[in-house]
Structure 1
Amino acid sequence: MTAAVLTYSEVGGTLAEVMPVGYHHVERRVRVGRGERDFAVLADAILRWEVQRGAGLTVRAGAERAAVGVDITCGARVGPVRIPVPCRVVAVLDEPARKGFAYGTLPGHPERGEEAFWAELHADGEVWFVVRAFSRPGTWWSKLGAPFARFMQKQVTDRYLRAGERLMR
């Protein structure tokens, strides 16, 4: 783990029943499959950063799989500009019916907050991919461009969900 410190204090807030106040909240889910096999395939892909790659982000991570303390920097393209988005894994879910991880923002990220990705296996056998986040502007330019930042967050979340669906085809 590097010396960088997370840029927010509500660590683990994406996994709480109620996310922290004072942030923009996102919770999206999509049904992607059925049964234990689909659940295992999706969970493994999530933990290997495949959702980020599938969303078109470049990935530089300190490990091949998500684990608490692993730093990851994704590269998001906005027109001709590539914006680094450094994060650190703050939690890993390893439950019988829920597997995935949450990461939080590090200095240099345009936002402050946390994002979580997980696979859920419901009692009826359906497999769902969930993306949950809370964030607020973390730089002067993301504060100035808050409407654009929200638009970009929605676009990237949509791409995450489509990546999760593609992983199951």
Structure 2
Amino acid sequence: MSTAHFTYEEVGATREQGHCPPGFHPLRVRTRIGEGREVFRRASEAVMTWELHRALGVGIESGADRAAPGVDVTITLAGLVRAPCRVVWTAEEPRLAGWAYGTLPGHPECGEEAFLVDRTGDGTVWLTITAFSRPAKWYTRAAGPFTRAFQHTYAHRCGTTLRKLCADIPEP
């Protein structure tokens, strides 16, 4: 773990669903992944082990095989943009699994993003991505609404990719 400090104050705020600190842009995208215990198990494992991100074609550098509080992660997009983050919280419960990371100095955005897999009472498995962010670099400020559109597209792609990763599991 590095000694770098987070670039925002409300560390862990994504744990409170729907909370967006003042001055940040909120994001919430929910995608149905499938049905049943095995789909939940597979989706949870893909999220917790960075497999989802790698399947998206996103570069992931981390000293840990799984998400855990305090683990540093650097995301690389298109081989050009490096985005240093640190995992701020995790959840591994019978019907809920996931984690959130917060931005560190050098990240093009400032804020936090959470990736949560949950299994509802009827057995439906969902991926919910929540985030709050604001530009931290000149180029993300200059891109304005295009940056937010990219974030929404990325979150939708996460759901589509996770559904594909779980597609070979028969639903009950």
TM > 0.5 fold call: yes
Partner of 2:152, secondary structure, is helix
Partner of 1:122: 120
Partner of 2:108: 110
Partner of 1:72: 73
Post-superposition Cα deviations, 1:86-138, rounded to whole Å, max 9, x if no partner, equal 11000001222111100001111100000000110100011111111110001
Is 1:7–2:3 an aligned residue pair? Answer: no
Matched AA of 1:107 = P
Matched AA of 1:147 = P
Q: CA deviation at 1:11?
A: 1.0
Gaps of 5+ in 1: none
Post-superposition Cα deviations, 1:13-43, rounded to whole Å, max 9, x if no partner, equal 1110332232111111111111111111111
Partner of 1:63, secondary structure, is coil
Partner of 2:64: 63
Partner of 1:43: 44
- Segment of structure 1 superposing worse, 22-31 or 150-159: 150-159
2-side partners of 1:30 and 1:18: how far apart?
16
2-side partners of 1:102 and 1:11: how far apart?
10
Matched AA of 1:112 = C
Partner of 2:149, secondary structure, is helix
Partner of 2:140, secondary structure, is helix
In the alignment, is the contact (CA less than 8 A) between 1:54 and 1:160 conserved in 2?
no
Q: CA deviation at 1:85?
A: 1.0
Gaps of 5+ in 2: 168-172
2-side partners of 1:9 and 1:15: how far apart?
14
1-side partners of 2:11 and 2:47: how far apart?
20
Partner of 2:90: 92
- Segment of structure 1 superposing worse, 50-59 or 85-94: 50-59
Partner of 2:147, secondary structure, is helix
TM-score, with length taken from structure 2? 0.91
2-side partners of 1:154 and 1:34: how far apart?
24
RMSD: 1.3
Percent of aligned pairs sharing the same letter: 42
Partner of 1:28, secondary structure, is strand
Partner of 1:158: 156
